[in-house]
């Protein structure tokens, strides 16, 4: 059974592994294409796979709208709360796309409230294409 605490655990593991990759970084790593950059660490590949698996398990349990809102709220807030290091920030933005199958599980009131939070955490001028799709999906789910 997967719930919010399991999703949070996926994030905690990723943050710990990414911090370790940053800590292991040598001053010249990545300079002139020599050495490994922290962004090359395998944790950046494991994280989206682990999150996708957890989200699929969560969706299969037919969660209530409030539970879905809590999980999506956590995921959508992460990029705003973790802007450094950049390798983590971009990954946190990218994995937001994994949430799209959960949006139809929201009741209109939860979708509208989540969109309000999303607009605050992810201003329109900063949105990537996947974030624009999420905002559109939330807006549509809030109308139904």
Domain of residue 105: give its range.
4-143
- For a pLDDT cut of 70, what percent of the chain falls above it? 88
Planar angle of CA 54, 118, 59, nearest 5 degrees: 25
End-to-end CA distance of the chain: 29
For residue range 28-75, list pLDDT tens digits in order: 555 555 556 656 778 889 999 999 999 999 999 999 999 999 999 999
- Cβ contacts of residue 11 below 8 Å, gap of 6+? 51, 74, 78
Domain count, the chain: 1
For residue range 73-107, list pLDDT tens digits in order: 999 999 999 988 888 999 999 999 999 999 999 99
């Amino acid at each position: 059974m997967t719930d919010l605490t399991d999703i949070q655990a996926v994030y905690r593991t990723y943050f710990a592994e990414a911090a370790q990759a940053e800590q292991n970084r040598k001053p010249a790593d990545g300079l002139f294409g020599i050495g490994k950059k922290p962004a090359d660490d395998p944790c950046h590949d494991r994280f989206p796979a682990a999150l996708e698996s957890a989200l699929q398990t969560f969706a299969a349990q037919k969660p209530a709208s409030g539970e879905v809102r809590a999980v999506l709220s956590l995921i959508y807030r992460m990029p705003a709360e973790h802007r450094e290091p950049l390798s983590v920030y971009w990954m946190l933005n990218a994995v937001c796309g994994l949430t799209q199958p959960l949006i139809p599980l929201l009741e209109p009131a939860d979708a509208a409230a989540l969109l309000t939070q999303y607009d605050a955490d992810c201003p329109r001028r900063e949105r990537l294409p996947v974030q624009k799709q999420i905002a559109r999906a939330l807006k549509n789910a809030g109308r139904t």
